[in-house]
Structure 1
Amino acid sequence: MDTIRKINNELTIAGQIDSEELKKLADEGYKSVLNLRSPDEMGFQSSEQLYAQLLGLHYANLPIKLTEINSLNTVQVFQKIVELPKPTVIHCDSSVRAIAMVLMYLATRQGMSLEQAFKQAENLGLLDDAIKVRL
């Protein structure tokens, strides 16, 4: 579970998680999984949703590519974070998308505008300077 990082009591980020990690997360009291990976990505675990649900976890898949992050899909991720029972693990393949989304979500919850949150994520190196984020 080296790729799993607890951000606060409600949110944890991770790279791709496997069935053993899902079981451990469920055993630790996690309630939800938000997968930011697309089914067409190499390494996407097609059985993850079924296994998560068998473990009693709520599951959502909102595919988002790092190069296509914009205000619309960011707000959709934020809404899903709000809706899912906590604690929630949010993951992608390497945790970069997950941490970018979680940090922007937390920044907006602390009063930053979405534009400021994007800038903060960019300053932390989470969004490539070449990516043109559309607000």
Structure 2
Amino acid sequence: MGVIAYNEEQVKLLARLMRAEAEGEGQLGMLMVGNVGVNRVLANCLDFKKIRSLQQMVFQTPGGFEATQKGYFYQRARESDIELARRTIRGDRFWPASFGLWFFRPAGACPTNWYNQKNSGRYKKHCFFQPSGSDCPKVFSI
């Protein structure tokens, strides 16, 4: 059972995204990318009002993920990555991405805010940002 609707192809899609965006950050970094993806499907707010599925989230335009434009993203999902994707779909959350809707890799320090969203923390090279509870209450509901 998941906190969002999904099918097996979408689990593999999320696994591929997690790997392509954060394999260099290890399993925990990949799990955090999964958190952001699941949160975007849950959110129904801000830039994600029309995102109702993992498929829509991964390929959102504009505002989607750079990894979908790279060949590495299109490799077959590995079983280990699929299990990580399942964990995030089940609702496992990992700080600082627990309630995050955005992340990026800056050249230096993480900014306090990014597009008016609060910095929730950094993990290795990625900075994570979360909305307020009043802007996106569904993100905080599970």
Same fold by TM-score, threshold 0.5 exceeded? no
Alignment TM-score, normalising by the size of structure 1: 0.29
Alignment TM-score, normalising by the size of structure 2: 0.28
Comparing both structures, which one devotes a greater share of its residues to helix? 2
